[in-house]
Every structure is written in C-alpha cells, then in structure tokens.
Amino acid sequence: MSTSWRAAASRHAYSLRPCQVLNRPFSTVVDQQPLPTRSPFENDHKQPDVKQTQQAEEIFRQAVAATQVRNNWTKEEISAIYHQPLMKLAFESGSVHRRFHDPAEVQLCTLMNIKTGGCTEDCSYCAQSTRYQKGTGLEAKKVETVESVLEAARVARARGSTRFCMGAAWRDMRGRKNALRNIRAMVQGVRALGMESCVTLGMIDGAQARELKEAGLTAYNHNVDTSREFYPSIISTRSYDERLKTLAHVRDAGINVCSGGILGLGESAQDRVGLLFTVATLPSHPESFPVNALVPIKGTPLGDRPPIDFASMLRTIATARILMPATVIRIAAGRKNMSEEQQALCFMAGANAVFTGEKMLTTDCNGWDEDSVLFGRWGLRPMEPRAR
C-alpha cells in the first residue's frame, strides 16, 4: 500500500458515520424508480401463490448457504435470487462476500486507451465506432508507444493501482502482427512493475491468446454486454457466440477471463438475469466481472438514454456475488455518477474492485485522490496484486 493510502486510511479509519446516509432522501441511495413488477414466478394475471413463494425462498436459502462455487445455475434460480427484496438480497450477498473475500479489500485498477477510435463495429453505446464519428466528434488515433504506456503504468502504480488495463478500439487482431508485438512488450513491462496486466483488443484466436499468455498477460477482457436475447438490439457486427468463442480461447490459453456487462441499455430485468446466466454458467466463472452503468455519449444511438436506476445496479452486483462467490466484481463505467453512499452499498453487497485514474477509455473516471478519501472514510484498503 502506498504511503498516501496508509495515511488516508489512518486519518479516516474511525470517521465513518453510517447514520449520515439518513440525513439525505433515501432516493439518493436506492432509486425511487419502482422495482420490477414481475417476479420470476408470476404470470400475467396473478401474484405468486404460497407454494411458489416457498420455492423461491428455498432457492435463495440454499444459494446463500453455499460454501463452494457452482456453475450449473438455471435462469429460474437466478431470477428467484435477483427478485428477492433488495435489502434482504444485499445483506445476504454481503454475508457470502465475507465468506470468500476480505470485505475491506478493494482492487484499484487503471484503464488506458492505447488506441482510440476507428473501430468498425456498431456497438450502440460506443463513441469509438467510425459509424458515429460525425456525431461524437471523436478522432481516431494511432497506437500509443510502448514507453508512453509504461510511463502511465508507473504513474498508476505510484498512486496505488495494482492492475493496469490496456484497451484498443479494434474489432479483432487479424493482420495486426506489429501491434501485437508492441502489446506483448507493454504486457511484459507492466508485469515487470509488479502489477497485474489486462488487455481488451476485440476478438482474438487461440494462437493470439497463447502469444499474450507467453508475454505474461494476467487477464483478457471481453464483455458479453447483456443477455443473448437483447444483444441483437445493441450490436449487429459481432455475434454473441463470437464473444463466447473469444472467451474460450482466452480460457484455453490459461489467461484469466474478465467478462461482464452494461446496465442501462434499455434491457429488462430478465435481460439482466440473462446476462448473469451467461457468465455464471461458463465452464469456469470469470475471475473478474465488471458491472458498467451506461454513460450516454451524444452522437451514439444510446446517447439520450436515461441513467440506470441505482437499485438495478445494486441488485445485479448482489446477485452476481451470490452466483459467483470467488469472482472479483468490478464497479466500472458510471461510478463517477454514484454517491459515496451508493458505492459503499455496492462494496457491502459484494463489489471489490474499481477503476481509478484519469480516464476510462473515453469517459470520466474517479481519480486517485478522490478514491483515497473514499477508502479512508469507509475503512477500505487497496487489494494486493493476485496475479498468478
């Protein structure tokens, strides 16, 4: 832990006043928007009967009592967990979290855009697509030099980050041998600093995954974004199965998998259940599950979407913690718009990683100084590197 983090933790360790939350309207902590009106066991005409309610309670009881990881969840089970009363769900997920993790540890990750814009994909939320460039005004840039990336990594390490992530706006890595060579050097340099390294480069094949593994890559990020059913509403240039194939290549190469989703795309509660079903039933759970709240960017098809209600964010994190108890759950994009109290609820419910630094690709990010104060006030400390 850096000196500044130790000082902040010591200075604020006993300054937490939980009742401060009550001095604000409760809607600032748990959004006023109504919870889903349909439970997983209800049809269009009537509320669930006593037997169905008992079934849901038994599913939940068994899920939170588990001491081992499982990946044979059904959508019905996940829905029963997801639709539990929110306070009950968050409390029980916090208990699971404490069974598998140190609740005071939160991993600090820094993400650098090593190649901005120029992507040929049509992801409706992304400013880096060439299809929306006229509306977003984002200019494509060349790949950053190895030294500039390693200098950014050194700054991140000095500020307390233990994981350095590098993102490039590409559809895939075909025909990019020179770029892959430079990225190998970046990965090796980051690992030499004693940090975990993660990249997100679009689709990769098995040979490319093995190259990255040889360079010492810790993790590869490739989000599935949403449920299989809702996915075609957001992206048409890359299939859901292509995303899963990339994850399989990463896993087969012995690289940790980082895969999550984006909330607020216009999806339903059952689509969030579908997202969780996809990742929680992979042959092995992803080591990292990033939960993003859409940051609407003007000029993209989703540029005018309203923000996701916080209750859905918390509910997704809590359910993910119960389904994947050993996974690191990251609060990713959108954290800048969350209050300290909302972030604290997420940590209590099972989130244990954040992105910190100057930028998150093309959107604003909470800074190191801001997070130092947050950690000190709530009694948190940076997680040490866990790379194998």
* Catalytic residue (one of 109, 126, 346, 365): 126
* Catalytic residue (one of 123, 159, 365, 381): 123
Residue 198 annotated in active site:
yes
For the packed helices 340-349 and 368-378, what is the interaxial angle rounded to 10 degrees? Answer: 60
Joined tokens for residue 302: 């989703």
Q: What are phi and psi of 183, to 5 degrees?
A: -65, -35
- 365 a known binding residue? no
- 346 a known binding residue? no
Question: CB of 293 within 8 A of CB of 311?
Answer: no
DSSP single-letter state for residue 237: S
Rounded to the nearest 10 degrees, how much is the dihedral formed by the CA atoms of 159, 347, 69, 284? -50
* Catalytic residue (one of 163, 184, 251, 258): 258
Residue 346 annotated in active site:
no
Residue 258 annotated in active site:
yes
Please tell me the distance from the alpha carbon of residue 364 to that of residue 360, in angstroms, as a whole number.
6
Joined tokens for residue 194: 């004693």
* Catalytic residue (one of 109, 163, 184, 198): 198
Question: CB of 296 within 8 A of CB of 333?
Answer: no
Residue 330 annotated in active site:
yes
Helices (H) and strands (E) in the chain, counts: 13, 12
- 19 a known binding residue? no
Residue 123 annotated in active site:
yes
* Catalytic residue (one of 165, 315, 346, 377): 165
Going by C-alpha positions, the residue among 374, 369, 379, 387 that lies closest to residue 160 is: 369
Point out the annotated binding site.
119, 123, 126, 165, 198, 258, 330
Binding-site residue set for [4Fe-4S] cluster: 119, 123, 126
Residues assigned a catalytic role: 119, 123, 126, 165, 198, 258, 330
| Binding site feature residues for [2Fe-2S] cluster | 165, 198, 258, 330
